[in-house]
Structure 1
Amino acid sequence: MTRRVAFLFPGQGSQAVGMGADIYAASAAARRIFATADDALGFSLSDLCFSGPEETLRETINAQPAIVTVSLAFLAAFQEALSADSSSLSSPLAPAYVAGHSVGEWTALTVAGVLDVPQTIRAVRERGRLMDHEGTVCPGGMAAIIGMDAESLQAVCQEASRQASEGAERTHPGMGQVVIANYNAPGQIVISGEKRALALASELARTRGAKRVIPLAVSGAFHSPVMQPAAEHLAQVLADLPLHDALIPLISNISAAPLATADVLRDELAQQVAASVQWTRTIEYLASEGVTTFIEIGPGQALTGMIKRIVKGVTTANIGNVADIAKVVALVREISALS
């Protein structure tokens, strides 16, 4: 049965004040995750998740470890619901694959045994700090482009980058650059780049047939050349972390292929902040490998919606509150009975 199951974890933007409060109250396993995160950071991340304020939770340095912590707490509670004796993130239900969208990839690697929870939470907070810093050095942003194909949007980004770079002094790797950041689903693509280049690309997309251009509430141009200095600094952080080989194959955001060895994962995690997230290809790969049940674990339901647009005839479920856990436990037991 586990050959057909993948665990998926959401990224930044899924955070909301109050997330995780219900599972904290209901599950001892979830409380242990929150306590571990609080101890690792030296302040109450739990209180920030449960009570805000929203503007503080939304800050990249806080949002990223908060999302990872809440996702891990829901997974721990889910495994506990499957077996009261479980204190593991990967049993009794061990998925065939794990994957995460952007910072969700760090949640996935923790489940795969690459890092322990305190190491992950501290590293993710530093990741958020580095990314936020580049957003101040080279201001930029991101925008979701709805109803435009990838090839046309790629041409838009190239033209906007050319226009934005003309006569501009290249004082930063991201200056005058805009690229496709997230291939989320067919017709749902995110672009990212330096402020002027992003504005030019957004306007070009509108004139060339995009149904909607939606600016995203983020603090920088994530998954673009603007983040290249952050990638280089993050590589130094990762060099000092004792990564282990993955016990469960993790699907790369960059290549949409399975990764397992510590050295390859170390490079992936560094470069990922400046590279495009290949989410459509990730889901297509998992489906091609026989995955029929996709379980999104963490705040929000964004990934579940994307999956439904990418592949047909698969089962999707999400765990983002206490009630969801009972539903997904019932689903897993039904699948087990049928297999």
Structure 2
Amino acid sequence: MAKAAWVFPGQGSQAIGMGTDLATVSLAQERFAEAESVLGWSVLDVTQDPDDKVSNTLYTQPCLYVIESILTDLLKAQGHRPAVVAGHSLGEYVALYAAGVFDFAAGLALVQRRAELMDQASDGMMAALLGFDADELNAKIEATPGVVLANDNNPGQVVISGTPAAVTAVMEGVKAKRAVKLNVSGAFHSPLMAEAAAAFEQVLNPVPFANAQVPVLSNVDPTPAVDAMVLKQRLVQQMTGSVRWREITLALPELGIDTVVEVGPGNVLAGLTKRTCRDLALSNVGNLAQVEGFSG
């Protein structure tokens, strides 16, 4: 029997129309209604907006959380359970929900506030680099004040984050097959998010966390943990800390994991995983048909 890790994608995996097919299921209908009472707006209205409203950070993060949580609930309703969970940036909140750390509404309220604070962080810039020499890149980052490695996704893909001048200097100073500025509002996962992170910590502190029902591999620390306070502290650090996704992926086989199930729209994490650990079996559950066809 497969021993599966469920992983949850973050910002960048959203798509117009995502989640629409779920609206025919009563469990999903209840979740969408609960989400509207928390958010004050309809997730399905946003995801179906032809002007790509869903790609605005204010809406992207809550919409992904809601849809990925519904997919999780539907999988669990069929009797499926993960052995380990992890989520990429925003996806870590769904991982914590899937592990029973907080309830749906509590997680959604946190995600909505996180999105608001990140959207307001207008200073800074992020860029993705593909096909580079890791030693050259690390040396250039170390020699350039104001820029950090924000997402260590796999051996051939990273995201850097920092001041526009510093990010541009690294992009121009390192040989890469591709270097692309990201369309985001700020320098996420960098020290430039410190003010937003401090504000978010005040929101996060009073929220009750339970011990996780399955181990969680966090973005800032890829070692498995179930202790509520440890998981909360890692979440506090997440907004300014690097997403260590390559290390999370490498940890999975050591935990006996043989299958990675990406729960959410698209297949970004499956692609990253394939580049890092070729022996892991990959599966995607991003819509109702894939839920119904999932065999575990």
Alignment-mate amino acid for residue 169 of structure 2: L
Q: Which position in structure 2 is the counterpart of 1:46? A: 44
Q: Which position in structure 2 is the counterpart of 1:260? A: 226
Which structure 2 residue ranges, 5 or more long, are not aligned? none
With normalisation by structure 2, the TM-score equals: 0.95
1:29 aligned onto 2:16: no
Q: Which moved more, 1:99-108 or 1:319-328?
A: 319-328
Whole-angstrom distance in 1 between the partners of 2:228 and 2:220? 16
Q: Indicate which of 243, 256, 280 corresponds to 2:209.
A: 243
Distance 1:266 1:52, change over 3 A: farther
Alignment-mate amino acid for residue 34 of structure 1: F
1:59 aligned onto 2:56: yes
Whole-angstrom distance in 2 between the partners of 1:313 and 1:30? 34
Alignment-mate amino acid for residue 126 of structure 2: M
Q: Which position in structure 2 is the counterpart of 1:277? A: 243
Whole-angstrom distance in 2 between the partners of 1:248 and 1:38? 29
Whole-angstrom distance in 2 between the partners of 1:290 and 1:147? 30
State, as a whole percentage, how many aligned pairs show the same letter: 39
Q: Which position in structure 1 is the counterpart of 2:265? A: 299
Q: Which position in structure 2 is the counterpart of 1:147? A: 131
Q: Which position in structure 1 is the counterpart of 2:13? A: 14
1:109 aligned onto 2:96: yes
Bigger radius of gyration among the two: 1
Which structure 1 residue ranges, 5 or more long, are not aligned? 83-91, 162-176, 333-339
> Could you list the runs of 4 or more consecutive aligned residues of structure 1 that deviate by over 3 angstroms after TM superposition?
none
Cα shift readout 1:33-82 (whole Å, capped 9, x = no counterpart): 2222111112212211233541x3222121111111111122223333x2
Q: In structure 2, the residue corresponding to 1:109 is in which secondary structure?
A: helix
Whole-angstrom distance in 1 between the partners of 2:50 and 2:93? 23
Q: After the TM superposition, which residues 1-339 of structure 1 pair with which residues of structure 2 at under 5 Å, given as runs?
A: 1=1, 4-25=3-24, 27-51=25-49, 53-54=51-52, 56-80=53-77, 82=78, 92-134=79-121, 136=122, 139-161=123-145, 177-205=146-174, 209-329=175-295, 332=296
Cα shift readout 1:242-291 (whole Å, capped 9, x = no counterpart): 11111111101112111212211111111101111110110110111110
Query: 8 Å contact 1:59–1:219 — kept in the other structure?
Result: no
Tell me by how many angstroms 1:145 deviates: 0.7
Q: Which position in structure 2 is the counterpart of 1:88? A: none
Whole-angstrom distance in 2 between the partners of 1:307 and 1:44? 33
Whole-angstrom distance in 2 between the partners of 1:124 and 1:249? 21
Whole-angstrom distance in 2 between the partners of 1:110 and 1:321? 19
Cα shift readout 1:305-336 (whole Å, capped 9, x = no counterpart): 0111010222100111223223323xx2xxxx
Query: 8 Å contact 2:62–2:108 — kept in the other structure?
Result: yes
Q: In structure 2, the residue corresponding to 1:76 is in which secondary structure?
A: helix
Alignment-mate amino acid for residue 202 of structure 1: M
Q: In structure 1, the residue corresponding to 2:242 is in which secondary structure?
A: coil
Q: Which position in structure 2 is the counterpart of 1:169? A: none
Q: In structure 2, the residue corresponding to 1:183 is in which secondary structure?
A: strand
Query: 8 Å contact 1:150–1:189 — kept in the other structure?
Result: no
- How many residues align structurally? 296
RMSD: 1.5
Tell me by how many angstroms 1:30 deviates: 2.1
Cα shift readout 1:71-97 (whole Å, capped 9, x = no counterpart): 1122223333x2xxxxxxxxx222110
Whole-angstrom distance in 1 between the partners of 2:50 and 2:236? 29
Query: 8 Å contact 1:31–1:73 — kept in the other structure?
Result: no
With normalisation by structure 1, the TM-score equals: 0.84
Distance 1:6 1:45, change over 3 A: same
